[in-house]
Amino acid sequence: MIRLGLIGCGAHSESGHAIPLARYKAAHPDEVLLAAVCDLQIERALDFSRKYGFLAAYRNVDDMLKQENLDACIAVVPPENISGLGIKLLNLGIPCVVEKPLGALLAEAQALRDSAAATKTLNMVSVNRRFMPLLNRAIERARHAGPVRYVHCTLARHTRQEPEFLWATAVHAVDALRYIAGPVAAFDLRTLKAPAGATAWYALDLQFESGISGRVDVLPTAGMVEETYDLFGDGFRASVTCPFGPQLGWRCFRDGRLIEAENVPAETPEDLVNGCYDEATAFIEALSGGTPKPGIAEVFPSVELCFAIARSVNARAAR
């Protein structure tokens, strides 16, 4: 019986972690125990305890870690707290899941990466796009069709004007394309022409070590929320809209014909579509003798690249 703890009870923790953990517990009652949950607002921790079956609720992280004999812990905290809390868990030898972007500064992300390497404590980063069933089916179909030559992501959001968008949100798309195409060899960022005073949009061109080319269109004020991933090769294309879009699903084209298509029914639970349930499953199952993936070291290059992109934007603005 694996004793799990969850730190942080905000909206993302609920949809991305508490709900899939409760679903896994219901399906595998003898494999996992939702031992404890913690939040600075104790009312939220108590609410999680009631709704999702955690046995104990805490306000203070140190109290929870001292009193509960946890086998693993999932930490869902703001970017400025990710690195410090992750390092604490790693140094205590508690296998953990941490959130991207691994820190609010590159130095914080580097410190977390270095701590993971030094302690060798099992660790995983919550990057649910890698676990989306639709995307993984499209990747498998594309690999059978032939070499992928080009990958593309449309990352569209509505009224997202926060300055950290490039390193805190675009990292989703960058990491997903790295998952598909491999390590990035070079990048070029173009700022798209915009009316005076408008939020900047970007085209991020990527060249992968594998020889695949790619691009992320970063459109934070596009009037709707969508992520669409496209994989292109000679004679084929696989297109996936997930985890956001007006119609979630995927389509595969081969030699001028639509050969496979799937639309997600509206009633399908979100965590089964967006990869969060598969991610929770992968972590829990790895605790029984495997290595959780992807780890901090594997995701760090995605974070590092996004911080480099943000620095290049800031440098242009300072000229």
- CB neighbour list of residue 308: distance below 8 Å, 6 or more residues apart: 187
**Does one domain contain both 107 and 251?**
no
**Does one domain contain both 137 and 243?**
yes
Which stretch of DSSP H or E encloses residue 270? Answer: helix 270-273
For 24, 187, 208, 297, the CA distances from 294, given in Å and listed in that order, are 20, 23, 19, 8
d(CA 49, CA 312): 44
| Cβ atoms of residues 312 and 205 within 8 Å | no
Q: How much is the average pLDDT of 299-306?
A: 97
**Does one domain contain both 152 and 206?**
yes
What is the CATH classification number for the domain harbouring 151?
3.30.360.10
d(CA 287, CA 199): 43
Exposure b/e, 290-302, CB count within 10 A at least 16 = b? eebebbbebbbeb
**Does one domain contain both 147 and 240?**
yes
Q: How much is the average pLDDT of 54-83?
A: 98
**Has residue 248 been placed in a domain?**
yes
**Does one domain contain both 184 and 284?**
no
End-to-end CA distance of the chain: 58
**Does one domain contain both 280 and 231?**
no
**Does one domain contain both 140 and 69?**
no
Q: Say if residue 319's pLDDT is above 70.
A: no
Q: Range of 94's domain?
A: 2-127+276-295
d(CA 268, CA 289): 31
**Does one domain contain both 123 and 137?**
no
**Has residue 107 been placed in a domain?**
yes
**Has residue 221 been placed in a domain?**
yes
**Does one domain contain both 162 and 309?**
yes
Lowest mean pLDDT among 26-30, 166-170, 303-307, 311-315: 311-315
Query: In the structure, what pLDDT confidence band is assigned to residue 315 with cuts at 50, 70 and 90?
Result: confident
**Has residue 256 been placed in a domain?**
yes
**Does one domain contain both 155 and 182?**
yes
Q: How much is the average pLDDT of 141-160?
A: 96
**Does one domain contain both 111 and 256?**
no
State phi, psi for 69 to the nearest 5 degrees: -90, 80
Q: How much is the average pLDDT of 89-111?
A: 98
d(CA 296, CA 71): 19
Q: What is the pLDDT of residues 164-195, one digit of tens each?
A: 999 999 999 999 999 999 999 999 999 998 88
| Cβ atoms of residues 149 and 233 within 8 Å | yes
- Please, what is the average pLDDT of the chain? 96
Q: Report how many domains make up the chain.
A: 2
Query: In the structure, what pLDDT confidence band is assigned to residue 318 with cuts at 50, 70 and 90?
Result: low
**Does one domain contain both 175 and 102?**
no
What is the CATH classification number for the domain harbouring 80?
3.40.50.720
**With a threshold of 0.75, does the pTM exceed it?**
yes
List the strands of the sheet with 96-99, edge to edge. 56-58, 32-38, 2-7, 72-75, 96-99, 123-126
Residue-level pLDDT at 194: 84
| Cβ atoms of residues 171 and 303 within 8 Å | yes
d(CA 213, CA 275): 25
**Has residue 300 been placed in a domain?**
no
